[in-house]
Structure 1
Amino acid sequence: MNAGPQAAASRSPENPGLDYAARHAQYWRRNLTVCVFGSFTTLVSLSMLLPFLPIYVQQLGVQSQAAVIQWSGIAFGATFLGTAITAPVWGRLADRFGRKPMLVRAAVGMAVVMSLIGVAHNVHQLVALRLLAGLVGGYSSASTVMVGTQAPKERAGWALGVLSTGALAGNLIGPLVGGFLPGWLGIRGTFFAGGAMIAVAALLTIFVVKEDFDRATGPRRRPVAHAATGAHHNNYPVIAALLLTAMMVLLANMSIEPVITVYVGGLGVQSAHLARVGGVVMACSALGSTLTAARLGALADRIGSWNVIVACLLLTGLVMVPQAFVHAWWQLAGLRAIMGMTLAGLLPSIAKLARQAVEEHKTGQMLGYLQSAQFSGQVVGPIIGGVIAVHLGLHSVFFITGSLLVACAGLAQWARRRQDVAVTRSLS
């Protein structure tokens, strides 16, 4: 990149590390497009195995139905666990060496591992490779770091909302693709096709994504502007509230997933159609989110992220309650779609605030912790939901998760007031 006087001034000792985003003013939209495509393809590849995962586990030598269910759950959750563990590490490395190398690493690593899953010989190798996909992958997480730091602050909510839409669309379409491809390519061939899709994303990342990364703005140098104001520095209670809220978003969405087919069966759906109807109901929350994620992200840019977070938490908590009183599957599907629409405003707004809660040279690490919290919710949510359903009944899952979301709204309101007080003190 041809750095002009403004860029040169921004890298001067008097102004270190202030405008990583400004240096990418002409690139961030193009990079966002590639990140959306890459997040979409990687999540399609990761989620497309849902319809045939139990069948593949059986082909790998697992016999009893109970063991098939157990190993399928372990294999599916292993990727999210791996991502939750390593997301902060990759975020910190992104601060040190640049965002683009992390994207390339994730895309190439996932393309290789996805193809290797197609040649697994036993279920232990399947689980190990799914875990490895999470450990070395995380393209969506790396995209959040890049987009969250390159987009201008006044457009960050919209950009993160668009990125979230691509990821949600991948989760929505993946199971549909997985329902058709094995019939054409076979199960192992489907994994090779998934690896090829991610390889395309890797090539686009290598040759299209642009980054002007200056290691002088790395963690060894603290931005003077933030040091002067102290508005966000060491505001750990606010950061903790953001991380907890992010975890709760995924926990609430996933809490009913393990038993949703059982719940749908209790609504009069015949066993022959149970799997298909259950899949439709599961997909409705992602469908709702794809419709509103970008719009709510843009709304956060206009009226403030805290306002969107508190409102969406309250609305989502309220929408959870009537799901316990439905009498037909289509009523549940409609409520899940509405819930997805309100949930969609949370993650982009939280990510925007997380970016602003720390000094610029630590934004990658902060967004890495945020991704870790989200994936932790995705792992813990089904476990908690299953435990509640077993001990307190299916309807209690909706009541308890709805109450937790309302409580998080109160926590977010407290965090906003604490942040306002910190800003006021820094300016006085």
Structure 2
Amino acid sequence: MEMWKKNLIVCWFGIFVAAIGMSQIAPVLPLYIQHLGVQDTATITKISGIAFGITFIISAIFSPIWGSAADKYGRKPMILRASLGMAITIGCMGFAPNVYILIGLRLLQGVITGYSTACTALIATQTDKEHAGYALGTLSTASIAGSLLGPTVGGFIDEILGLQSVFFITGALLLISFITTLIFVKESFVREEKKVLTIEEVWSTVPQKSLTVTMFLTFFILSVALYSVEPIVTIYVKQLSNNSSHIALLAGITFSASGLANIIAAPRLGKLSDKIGAHKVMLACLIGAVIIFIPQAFVQNTWQLMGLRFLLGLASAGLNPSVNIILKKITPSSLTGRVFGFNMSAGYLGVFGGSVLGGQIAGILGMQYVFFITSALLLANAIWVYFKVYKKLNLNE
């Protein structure tokens, strides 16, 4: 078996386990905040947005730093650093005595970030362009599916063992990712640039600056849109289920519906991208997501919401991988870590903006408006992609 295929399998497993571990927190975070003493529903949604998003705004600052370190020292050391650091930090969250310590640990988690970025850079630099769509599309299923299946695991753990156990088991899963990476990932790393480049020098060597910036902005908007509902899903499910005693479990399954869809769709859309172009897949999936978000505001029960989240997962499976595929094809291998680092910064800023925006909109206007505004953002992104990416790349074919 070729090295890139072996690494793809190991990195897929590692990202999947890490994503499950980290995303277990999503459905229980509002409940944990309530457990730590906050009782008002509107306040819980706002604090949930801040606690969820603070990790990602700090990640946006440190992601280019770790990306540069990956180009300098290799991608495997960055994978090991991030997985072990997050295992310790998230495990400590289970001991948080109040929301301030919890938010502080979420902030520290952002400093240690870089796991999926390093894995993506590792696969991107070792995969030939003919198979880039398949490899990166498959890899994306690990992160997306793990992130969206994890909440179900978190819901079960909360039901059986309690809220704090979610954080302890998350830390254990991340430790497993560290061990599997240490043992199984092989990297033939050759440092191509001895001199430490400044951001300006790195940028001066990027061949297609306009398209690269467009990809960064697109990834930012996608992240804002797709994460705007994260802080409210648990509270929304609570309303729809008439305060059922199994809120964490139902919320977890609702999150996970999209994960199942991603497992089904992402590799197929990746192969389709190799054949017809990632820009075409991206535009079609954006239009689908615009349409699917709107009816989520009008659902009458949790099962309807789960069904729509599944459809959203089919559409979103072609979005983030398409950005990575295009960046991979237009970026020199010596700059891959740094460019992916900058792209992840844009994504982290988007996650922070989306989670805070969603929490604030829900607290001020009501939860239904989060879906309307998210759909409008995706529509604006679709128009942007059509003019700046789709038309440009079509002319180059």
Alpha-carbon spacing, 1:174–1:55, altered in 2? closer, same or farther (3 Å):
same
CA deviation after TM superposition for structure 1 residue 34, in Å: 1.5
Aligned counterparts of 1:76 and 1:332: Cα–Cα separation in 2: 22
CA deviation after TM superposition for structure 1 residue 266, in Å: 6.6
CA deviation after TM superposition for structure 1 residue 304, in Å: 0.8
Partner of 1:359: 332
Partner of 2:78: 102
1:346 aligns with 2:319: yes
Choose which of 67, 71, 74 in structure 1 pairs with 2:50.
74
Once the two structures are aligned, what percentage of the paired residues are identical?
39
CA deviation after TM superposition for structure 1 residue 109, in Å: 1.4
Q: Which runs of 5+ in 1 are unaligned?
A: 1-24, 222-229
1:212 aligns with 2:191: no
Alpha-carbon spacing, 1:200–1:307, altered in 2? closer, same or farther (3 Å):
same
The answer to whether the Cα contact below 8 Å between 1:265 and 1:271 also exists between their aligned partners in 2 is: yes
The answer to whether the Cα contact below 8 Å between 2:286 and 2:379 also exists between their aligned partners in 1 is: yes
The answer to whether the Cα contact below 8 Å between 1:219 and 1:362 also exists between their aligned partners in 2 is: no
The answer to whether the Cα contact below 8 Å between 1:288 and 1:337 also exists between their aligned partners in 2 is: yes
Partner of 2:379: 406
Aligned counterparts of 2:292 and 2:164: Cα–Cα separation in 1: 40
After superposition, give the CA deviation of every residue in 1:102-151 in whole Å (9 maximum; x if it has no partner). 11111221222233334445543332222222211331222122122222
Alpha-carbon spacing, 1:386–1:297, altered in 2? closer, same or farther (3 Å):
same
Alpha-carbon spacing, 1:197–1:303, altered in 2? closer, same or farther (3 Å):
same
1:169 aligns with 2:169: no
Aligned counterparts of 1:420 and 1:206: Cα–Cα separation in 2: 42
Higher relative contact order (CA 8 A, sep 6+): 2
Alpha-carbon spacing, 1:258–1:45, altered in 2? closer, same or farther (3 Å):
closer
Partner of 2:11: 35
Give the letter for the 1:271 counterpart: N
1:370 aligns with 2:347: no
Instruction: Give the TM-score normalised by structure 2.
Output: 0.85
Alpha-carbon spacing, 1:325–1:68, altered in 2? closer, same or farther (3 Å):
closer
Partner of 2:201: none
CA deviation after TM superposition for structure 1 residue 345, in Å: 0.6
Write out aligned runs for 1:92-241 (5 A).
92-181=68-157, 187-217=163-193, 233-241=206-214
1:272 aligns with 2:244: yes
Alpha-carbon spacing, 1:190–1:253, altered in 2? closer, same or farther (3 Å):
closer
After superposition, give the CA deviation of every residue in 1:39-70 in whole Å (9 maximum; x if it has no partner). 1222222222345445655665x465466665
The answer to whether the Cα contact below 8 Å between 1:293 and 1:344 also exists between their aligned partners in 2 is: yes
Alpha-carbon spacing, 1:65–1:27, altered in 2? closer, same or farther (3 Å):
same
Write out aligned runs for 1:390-405 (5 A).
394-405=367-378
The answer to whether the Cα contact below 8 Å between 1:238 and 1:419 also exists between their aligned partners in 2 is: no
1:45 aligns with 2:21: yes
More displaced stretch, 337-346 vs 166-175 = 166-175
CA deviation after TM superposition for structure 1 residue 90, in Å: 1.0
Alpha-carbon spacing, 1:65–1:394, altered in 2? closer, same or farther (3 Å):
closer
Give the letter for the 1:132 counterpart: L
Give the letter for the 1:270 counterpart: N
Q: Which runs of 5+ in 2 are unaligned?
A: 198-203
Give the letter for the 2:104 counterpart: A
Aligned counterparts of 1:54 and 1:389: Cα–Cα separation in 2: 13
Write out aligned runs for 1:190-339 (5 A).
190-217=166-193, 233-260=206-233, 269-272=241-244, 275=247, 276-339=249-312
Instruction: Give the TM-score normalised by structure 1.
Output: 0.79
CA RMSD of aligned residues (A): 3.1
Alpha-carbon spacing, 1:302–1:219, altered in 2? closer, same or farther (3 Å):
farther
The answer to whether the Cα contact below 8 Å between 2:155 and 2:252 also exists between their aligned partners in 1 is: no
The answer to whether the Cα contact below 8 Å between 1:106 and 1:142 also exists between their aligned partners in 2 is: no
The answer to whether the Cα contact below 8 Å between 2:21 and 2:170 also exists between their aligned partners in 1 is: yes
Between Structure 1 and Structure 2, whose CA radius of gyration is higher? 1
Alpha-carbon spacing, 1:59–1:265, altered in 2? closer, same or farther (3 Å):
closer
Aligned counterparts of 2:393 and 2:173: Cα–Cα separation in 1: 43
Aligned counterparts of 2:84 and 2:359: Cα–Cα separation in 1: 35
The answer to whether the Cα contact below 8 Å between 2:87 and 2:170 also exists between their aligned partners in 1 is: yes
CA deviation after TM superposition for structure 1 residue 418, in Å: 3.9
SS in 1 for 2:25: coil
The answer to whether the Cα contact below 8 Å between 1:250 and 1:377 also exists between their aligned partners in 2 is: yes
